[in-house]
Amino acid sequence: MQDTQLEAMFSGVIGQEYDTLKLICPLAAKMSQLVGASVAQYAQVKAEQTLNVLELGGGTGITTLAILLASENLKVLSVDSEPTMQNQAKQNLQTWVTQGRLHFAAEDALAVLKRTASASVDIIASAYTVHNFLDSYRAQVIQEIFRVLKPGGQFINGDRYGLDDISAHTRTIQHEVSGYFKALIAVDKLDVLEHWIVHLFSDESENHVMRETFSLQQLQQTGFKQVNLTHRCEVNALVVAIK
Ligand SMILES: C[S@@+](CC[C@H](N)C(=O)[O-])C[C@H]1O[C@@H](n2cnc3c(N)ncnc32)[C@H](O)[C@@H]1O
């Protein structure tokens, strides 16, 4: 699918939610498409099989849609602990629910992972969810992701990966904050601005931030054979880890 077709599809299906995200953080909107492109690459290699995809933190369905569009040959279980977010995804993505290709679990990600059989999932995909986890909780999630993936399966995560150079990281965050003010004051969305600034304090706290080198080493130490970080743009990057 062409970029412009994909854009139209996202705006059409996800609606205003997607347009607001593009305004605040164009990279976040693009990241779901990068996750989708990685899923598509894997699905091409496994063309003859129906892939089991587990999505962590589906939110309103932006990343879920990118995953579903990646291939006809996959089924998605989209997990989100926040029913208000997931209900929007349910509404937006009815077509795929009807086709039997999309199921939802309104549950905690770790709880779902823990009751999933070992070596039963082809892809665990996520965008902008794992950085929200407390570091100790994230460590357990990563262990479980490794356990439930099939050998050769992939963990595909588009997310906020902090720069190792802390001064450069701070400058990047300062630039990001300026961008929120410019974009949201221009459209008079001060409530959204407040929400994003408050949330950023959590993202940037010591027990949340996913520093690049630490995070990649954590995946390698868990047992992932190949771990790659690509498409870095400011604090955003795509990580693909192969079991
Ligand atoms: C920022 S949204 C990302 C949504 C979508 N992937 C995107 O990129 O637009 C993060 C989502 O993760 C969900 N979430 C956060 N912690 C979670 C947890 N422990 N278990 C399940 N879902 C969680 C939140 O409810 C939220 O909907």
- Residuewise pLDDT in 10s, the chain (243 residues): 445 555 555 555 555 666 676 777 777 778 999 999 999 999 999 988 999 999 999 998 999 999 999 999 999 999 999 898 899 999 999 999 999 999 999 999 999 999 999 999 999 999 999 999 999 999 999 999 999 999 999 999 999 999 999 999 999 999 999 988 998 899 888 888 888 898 899 999 999 999 999 999 999 999 999 999 999 989 999 999 999
> Which of 20, 80, 156 to probe ligand 1 with, by most ligand atoms within 8 A of CB?
80
Read off the pTM: 0.93
pLDDT the model gives residue 8: 58
- Cβ of 158 closer than 6 Å to ligand 1, yes or no, is no
- Cβ of 85 closer than 6 Å to ligand 1, yes or no, is yes
Q: How far is the CA of 128 from the centre of ligand 1 (A)?
A: 7
> Which of 129, 137, 138 to probe ligand 1 with, by most ligand atoms within 8 A of CB?
129
pLDDT the model gives residue 13: 58
- Cβ of 63 closer than 6 Å to ligand 1, yes or no, is yes
- Separation between Cα atoms, residue 153 and residue 74, nearest integer Å: 14
Q: Which domains are present in the chain?
A: 3-242 (3.40.50.150)
Q: Residue of the nearest CA to atom 27 in ligand 1? A: 59
pLDDT the model gives residue 114: 98
Listed in sequence order, the residues at least 6 apart from 63 whose beta carbon sits closer than 8 Å to its beta carbon are 31, 32, 35, 36, 55, 125, 126, 127, 128, 158
Chain centroid to Cα 183, Å, comes to: 23
Tokens 């027990």 sit at which residue? Answer: 207
pLDDT the model gives residue 162: 98
